[in-house]
């Protein structure tokens, strides 16, 4: 009994400066709850652009995007921010932690923004997520005291804090060495298998992709395999 959590309906996007280039052409696909999907394709095929549209950060496109069966078209910037906060966890190629805050506070930030739980609960949940990722001992350190792999794991913990509908990753292992890449992949795998977390990961690492449940392959702005 699969349930649709994300649906792209004929999404197209083109850049007009300096000349019109069509980056995405009529992309349509469906993502079900609990799926671990990877998006692959050569550089410049539009996979990152697609991901930014799916994550609601980019609103300049044609077609329609439904998250949790709700259309994202015609939503205000503030409403989209709420959707991102509540339903989407994002992991970037670069970790993007805030150096002004400790590891724990970084993880807590989206939770505090959501404001669904009390401050104490948010703290407990942040610890819990850090424990899942095996870095609970680093909780009170500053992000710049951590290694690259650890930072990326903190970023994943931050993505998890609000129990999002889906986690999106933009080359989350792109900056990591082999060993850390594997650790991160194992974490994603565990999240999908044990916790039933839906994941949509953009990568150009075919080995990484081959281990996921489903691969969407893109070429020149179109999906050629899904």
Partner 1 sequence: MNYKLIQNIAISLLLARWRQTLVAAIGVTFSITMFITLLSFMSGLNDLLDGLILNRTPHVRLYKEIKASDFQPIDLHSKNSHAYNFIRSVKPKSEKLEIQNSAAIIKNLKSDPRVLGVAPKVTAQVFFNVGSIEMTGVINGVDPEAENKLFFFNDYVTAGNFMDLKNIPNSIILGKGAAEKMLAQIGDVVQVTSSKGDRIALKVVGFFQSGLQDVDNIQSYASISTTQKLLGESNNYLTDLQVKLNNILLAPEVAKEYQKIYEIEAVDIQTANSQFETGSSVRSLISYAVGITLLIVAGFGIYNILNMMIYEKMDSIAILKAVGFSGRDVNRIFILIALSIGVFGGFLGLLGGFGLSALIDQIPFNTNSLPTVKTYPINYNPRYYLIGSSFALITTYLAGYFPSRKASKIDPVIIIRGK
Cβ distance to partner 1 smaller for residue 18 or 78? 78
Distance CA 84, CA 162 (A): 10
Whether the CB-CB separation of 203 and 24 falls below 8 Å is answered with no
117 binds partner 1 (CB under 8 A): no
**Which residues have C-beta within 8 Å of that of residue 118, sequence separation ≥ 6?**
none
Instruction: Find where tokens 């205000």 sit.
Output: 76
> Which range of residues in 24-32, 109-117, 143-151, 179-187 is near partner 1 by CB under 8 A?
109-117
Among 2, 28, 71, 99, binds partner 1 (CB under 8 A): 99
Distance CA 166, CA 145 (A): 29
Among 30, 64, 66, 94, binds partner 1 (CB under 8 A): 94
Cβ distance to partner 1 smaller for residue 109 or 226? 109
57 binds partner 1 (CB under 8 A): yes
Distance CA 190, CA 157 (A): 13
Lookup: tokens for 155 = 């970023």
Among 9, 75, 113, 189, binds partner 1 (CB under 8 A): 113
Whether the CB-CB separation of 29 and 50 falls below 8 Å is answered with no
151 binds partner 1 (CB under 8 A): no
Tell me the three state secondary structure of residue 60. Answer: coil
109 binds partner 1 (CB under 8 A): yes
Give me the least distance between CB of 53 and partner 1, in Å please. 9
**Which residues have C-beta within 8 Å of that of residue 123, sequence separation ≥ 6?**
104, 108
Cβ distance to partner 1 smaller for residue 32 or 54? 54
Give me the least distance between CB of 87 and partner 1, in Å please. 9
> Which range of residues in 26-34, 111-119, 125-133, 199-207 is near partner 1 by CB under 8 A?
111-119
Distance CA 123, CA 219 (A): 43
Cβ distance to partner 1 smaller for residue 86 or 163? 86
Tell me the three state secondary structure of residue 43. Answer: coil
Residues making contact with partner 1 (CB under 8 A): 48, 52, 55, 57-58, 77-78, 81-86, 90, 92-94, 96-101, 109-110, 112-115, 158, 170
């Amino acid at each position: 009994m699969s349930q649709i959590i994300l649906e792209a309906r004929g999404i197209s996007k083109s850049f007009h400066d300096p000349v019109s280039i069509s980056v995405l052409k009529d992309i349509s696909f469906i993502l079900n709850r609990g799926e671990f999907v990877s998006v692959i394709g050569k550089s410049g095929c539009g996979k990152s652009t697609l991901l930014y549209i799916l994550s609601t950060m980019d609103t300049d496109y044609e077609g329609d995007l439904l998250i949790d069966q709700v259309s994202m078209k015609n939503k205000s910037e503030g409403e989209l921010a709420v959707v991102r906060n509540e339903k989407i966890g994002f992991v970037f190629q670069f970790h993007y932690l805030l150096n002004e805050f400790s590891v724990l506070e970084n993880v807590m930030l989206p939770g505090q923004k959501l404001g669904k739980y009390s401050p104490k609960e948010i703290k407990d949940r942040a610890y819990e997520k850090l424990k899942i990722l095996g870095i609970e001992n680093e909780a009170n350190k500053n992000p710049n005291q951590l290694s690259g792999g650890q930072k990326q794991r903190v970023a994943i913990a931050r993505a998890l804090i609000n129990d999002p509908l889906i986690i999106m990753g933009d080359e989350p292992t792109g900056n990591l060495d082999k060993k850390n890449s594997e650790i991160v992949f194992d974490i994603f795998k565990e999240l999908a298998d044990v916790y039933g977390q839906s994941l949509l990961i953009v990568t150009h690492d075919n080995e990484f992709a081959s281990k996921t449940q489903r691969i969407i392959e893109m070429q020149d702005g179109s999906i050629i395999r899904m």
